[in-house]
Structure 1
């Protein structure tokens, strides 16, 4: 299992030494991890320093360095420029993709997200029949904003009538921020590894967002974070604790149903990014392969993640 390394203690120093990521404090080593095992390094703490050699070593392995703000949301990411042998051709196809294709691709992503939301609700014993109807109503480009309509139903059902999604809030919202950060780094890595550029989105297009495509592709995976958050809250967890971080980090190895049998969240993200690259190259949205929503029984595996 590739590992997500979270640095949450102030004053740590990160370096690379003989194939290891070495964590030190006051020049004394406090831990080391093989660089080949690292998927992403997420830094939350203040006063953390690192060497250029480490950043280069991570980039050479396709691993990300993610810097987060006080709300646990990423504010900057360092990623490799040379992520795939066919990168130039794929980026050109990505850049040249027309709006009709982008709209068709966004429809597929929104439909997948709504189906995932339904699966999460079912896993919690909540009726989700309306979500199947909403998924069928999504048109190319989602001009009716069915995604937002589904969200207005979804959050009260999952979190309670009083819940409001607020990225700047503490408590459950901070937990969601952290979980999304973990998956965002995973998806951004898979995008780069597939030879695509993360800033060229198919729906998200904010000029200040260097990871628009990662934010597009993360959408079907978000309900996984939502379900973990509900389970953490049920256990009395209301802050981004070490237990919460371990639960979210464990998501990347969670088993999911795939086209060729069981796969992991990591492989599902990789397959999604690769299928998107094929869609750009062929001009066919039908090549896109979003992760299949698991059944309520399959989602029961999240219990082990949260324990």
Structure 2
């Protein structure tokens, strides 16, 4: 079942009643006339808290993480700043933790090779979608070595970002850079939460990556596994700027388009499924690689919608 991504943008109090998330505006100045809203907790996959005056009950937080929902908090500029996930969400978690921790160097290098191949292939598909020369990326994808020893990911990134957006944007990819970096950052934050949720659901440690290593990063594995999914965010952002003259401000309309990310269709093997479901299958395939049940990761491909 595809879970919902819900963004709360107004001041309110969030609580739990009968396994429903209740959005209550009582005693909130200027919003008293808004009617109470409810959402079944079991339907929530990601909850984004945008307003600084949102309050939330501990009981609701506990029920959300118990149902494997990711809760994202945003700062005063409305950009994601934190994330909450369950500590336990799989019945054979300790077994998978052990397999993940004991994974050999050669296995991790093979998994990273597959990851970068998939990322470069999807980046090539994005450029192809806009009629941009993509053969260089396709060749890089074919030539990725174990552990990406030739650093094809970086070579591909240099080419990809210099060609993805129209010349008029004079774009360079930098987290704190000018638009549309703001759109990419927001979309990647939603993607990261979606992948982190899938990883914990598969009984894996999100902090223990196959490539990324950072003592201050609790989601290294999510950052690894989301790499081939990033181009799906890029497609949304490129589509937005093709239709919008200014994206200086991350408006509600723009966020609505980016929040659709978990529901877009992707091709995984021979099946088309929503991206959120695909991340779960990707995470499950990684767990099986760690336990020796299979050797190939399941990563998505772009669906050609014409």
Question: Partners in 1 of 2:78 and 2:157 — Cα distance?
Answer: 22
- After TM superposition, list the pairs within 5 Å mapping 1:208-287 onto structure 2: 208-236=216-244, 237-238=246-247, 239-282=249-292, 286-287=295-296
The answer (yes or no) to whether the contact 2:52–2:75 under 8 Å persists in 1 is no
2:85 aligned residue? 79
Could you tell me whether the CA contact under 8 Å between 2:72 and 2:80 is conserved in 1?
yes
Asked if 2 retains the 8 angstrom alpha-carbon contact of 1:71 and 1:177, the reply is: no
Residue in 2 that maps onto 1:19: 19
Aligned counterpart for 1:47 among listed residues 43, 53, 74: 53
Shift of 1:72: 5.5
Question: Is 1:8 matched with 2:9?
Answer: yes
Q: Does 1:198 align with 2:199?
A: no
Q: Where is the helix percentage greater, Structure 1 or Structure 2?
A: 1
Residue in 1 that maps onto 2:189: 181
In the superposition, relative to structure 1, how do residues 256 and 116 fare at CA in structure 2: closer, same or farther (>3 Å)? same
**TM-score (structure 2 length as normaliser):** 0.91
CA distance in 1 between partners of 2:7 and 2:156 (Å): 32
Q: Which whole-Å CA distance do the structure 1 matches of 2:96 and 2:81 have between them?
A: 26
CA distance in 2, matches of 1:170, 1:164: 8
In structure 1, the partner of 2:173 is: 165
Q: CA deviation at 1:253?
A: 1.6
Asked if structure 1 preserves the Cα contact closer than 8 Å seen for 2:52 and 2:76, the reply is no
Distance 1:219 1:282, change over 3 A: same
SS for the counterpart of 1:76 is strand
- CA distance in structure 2 between the partners assigned to 1:274 and 1:68 by the alignment: 29
Deviation at 1:26, TM superposition (A): 4.1
Contact 2:99-2:291 at 8 Å conserved across structures: yes
Distance 1:167 1:77, change over 3 A: same
With over 3 angstroms needed to count, the CA separation of the structure-2 counterparts of 1:200 and 1:242, relative to structure 1, is same
Contact 1:20 1:33 (8 Å CA) reproduced: yes
Distance 1:208 1:25, change over 3 A: same
Structure 1: which 5+ runs fail to align?
301-307
Structure 1 residues 224 and 70: CA distance shift in structure 2, 3 A: farther
- CA gap of 1:169–1:32, structure 2 versus 1, over 3 A, is farther
- Asked if residue 134 in structure 1 is aligned to residue 144 in structure 2, the reply is no
- 1:305 corresponds in structure 2 to none
Out of 68, 71, 74, the position equivalent to 1:65 is 71
Q: Which moves more between the two structures, 271-280 or 65-74?
A: 65-74
> In the alignment, is the contact (CA less than 8 A) between 1:71 and 1:170 conserved in 2?
no
Deviation sequence 1:251-289 (CA, Å, 0-9, x none): 2122222324222211211110000000000086x3311
CA contact (8 A) 2:195 2:222 kept: yes
**Pair 272,191 (structure 1): closer, same or farther in 2 beyond 3 Å:** same
Change (3 A) 1:68 1:36: same
How many angstroms apart in 2 are the aligned matches of 1:54 and 1:243? 28
User: 1:10-35, CA deviations, whole angstroms, 9 ceiling, x for partnerless residues?
Assistant: x3221111121122234455432111
Task: Name the CA shift for 1:118/1:270 in 2 (closer, same or farther; >3 Å).
Answer: same
